A and B are shown apart, each in its own frame.
Chain A
């Protein structure tokens, strides 16, 4: 019983602190499926009209499904690009004796410290010149490039924990350097790959500035830009619909966290366990 006596103040304190947050989310959800009389918080009718954006496309706006698909493509493609390149670059930087390795690592770090927003005008111009402005591919490439330094460092850290004897044993067993990486080393850094993939996906999913500037309209629009468009629209401003879209936008993130929360908690449990 003593254990209970000790924990209840903590539970109480946490409840008080997190109550406003919980309330906010509850109201966000309630507002999307109800109407309240003017000037009151308390809803008086149930309605699905705020979710109507799911089945009817407003004039002058792209279809929500198109936009969702774009967001999904954007997030998965950047994540895939970041994963493929970081997992290889991290290995090379961790293990192979490439000339100028330390400078490269320092350079990568500086790049990461550089706020992407300061580059946006230059990137905008470059994309226009090469014809990738207002395309999904263009903004995917830019986002992947910006996320890459972090990914490379993260992966290098994971590779550093893999004992080199494993690789030497693989080489002695007759495997090529590439096979050793693919079959022996990569499986040891699975937690890193998983974490990086998930974070890159979430970063892509939540990204707003880059798509807003580089692919603002038409077929390349992503959810965050669509959502921003809703508040910017002064003519038929619909607060509750804005909340519904917001909730809809959050859903995949919540699902990802619920599905993977155990694995996420374990990521730093050890780099090389089998």
Chain B
């Protein structure tokens, strides 16, 4: 079901958390709400499921205005970060709870619980209590309980935050598989860009209660609207250096480095201070511009190495390259960058 937030605002007393947000989640898509801690992701989620009342604006499920509909009647499935399983009930009773509340006949409850348990692969655990499950298993139970009543929309609030690295990887693809199999509209709240990029159809990136950009992961990575977005996506992250427009090219501050203006950017007038963003994979052996610096750190990542190079003005750039034996710490290198792969931002962070 399509979900639409229209001019949604939320404040707690005098604290304005969200102001005038408009956001559409398309039918059947999985959208990530990505942003730093405290930017209002959970608040948005809780407004959609009805835990928080909106201060102003409207929330639509399909064509139905649910702004003032109580939580119980919105039919939203929520997976909480702590899973919030009912500790005194068995897994089967946990999953059956929403169905029993709806007074579904017991035979039908049993059938549906088994069906959904099959979907999330927990058939063997139905008789256990939550305390007897691992984190990943609890996560699956929470998913099953949220999905069993066929909700209009599935909300996931940092569902992977409590899992260890390996389980996180596994549940990442599991959640996506289940979402695709059920075709449910889903919103994933996360502050982990890898999760957002790998699991979702689109990403809405938030900062301080505002949506900065909504796009597919690819599009957002290739074409960030602001320096904040560029800095949030990518691991290892993009590096920024200060520069100034001079004679139609970019002069890095306090360094003898000139870079051409990328084709996708408008040429700023001379003397404009700008910020150049260079992703680690854009700096290396190929390109039309040269950057000189000293290798100040080498991090082995197995297949690749991550090199930090310090420019003469003290700024640090990162480069990720296949493992090379010809580079040692403190070597002075001249590496290439393709000018079309760099991003140009104004001083306030807006893309130029």
Contact = CB atoms under 8 A, between A and B. Distances in A.
Nearest to A171: B71
Interface in A131-189: 163, 165-166, 168-176, 179, 183-184, 187-188
A272 interface: yes
Interface string B73-105: 101111011101111110000000110011000
B262 to A, nearest CB: 47
Nearest to B83: A165
Contacts of B86: 166, 169-170, 184, 187
Contact of B72 (A174, A184, A187): A174
B72 A175 contact: yes
A272 B84 CA distance: 12
Q: Chain B contact residues (Cβ within 8 angstroms of A): what range?
A: 20 to 34
Interface string B32-74: 0000000000000000011100000000000000000001110
B72 A171 contact: yes
Given A173-B98, A272-B87, A165 B130 contact: no
A174 B88 contact: no
A172 B84 CA distance: 11
Interface centre among B49, B101, B131 (most CB of A within 10 A): B101
A187 B76 contact: no
B80 A274 contact: no
A188 B84 CA distance: 13
A4 interface: no
Contacts of B78: 168-169, 172
A171 B51 contact: yes
Contact of B101 (A166, A174, A272): A174
Contacts of B51: 168, 171
Residue with the highest number of chain A CB atoms closer than 10 Å, among B51, B84, B129: B84
B77 A188 contact: no
A230 B146 CA distance: 66
A166 B149 CA distance: 18
Contacts of B191: none
Given A166-B84, A188-B87, A172 B130 contact: no
A58 interface: no
B101 A175 contact: yes
B145 interface: yes
Interface string A237-274: 00000000000000000000000000000000000111
A126 to B, nearest CB: 42
Nearest to A175: B101
Interface in B129-151: 129-131, 145-146, 149
A174 B98 contact: yes
B33 to A, nearest CB: 18
Given A165-B82, A274-B130, A274-B131, A172 B76 contact: yes
A155 to B, nearest CB: 17
B129 A165 contact: no
Contacts of B76: 172
Contact of A173 (B82, B88, B101, B130): B101
B84 A163 contact: yes
B101 to A, nearest CB: 5
B131 A273 contact: yes
B88 A187 contact: yes
Contact of B87 (A173, A179, A274): A274
A174 B49 CA distance: 11
Contacts of A274: 87-89, 129-131
Contacts of A169: 78, 80, 84-86, 145
A20 B88 CA distance: 46
B91 to A, nearest CB: 12
Nearest to B148: A173
B36 to A, nearest CB: 22
Contacts of B50: 171
Given A175-B72, A274-B87, A274-B88, A168 B101 contact: no
Nearest to A164: B84
A197 B75 CA distance: 38
Interface of B: 49-51, 71-73, 75-78, 80-82, 84-89, 97-98, 101-102, 129-131, 145-146, 149
30 contacts: A163-B82, A163-B84, A165-B80, A166-B84, A166-B87, A168-B78, A168-B80, A169-B78, A169-B80, A169-B85, A170-B86, A170-B97, A171-B51, A171-B71, A172-B78, A173-B98, A173-B145, A173-B149, A174-B72, A174-B73, A174-B75, A174-B102, A175-B72, A188-B87, A188-B88, A273-B87, A273-B131, A274-B87, A274-B129, A274-B130
Given A165-B81, A174-B149, 8 more contacts: A166-B87, A169-B80, A169-B85, A187-B88, A188-B87, A188-B88, A272-B87, A274-B130
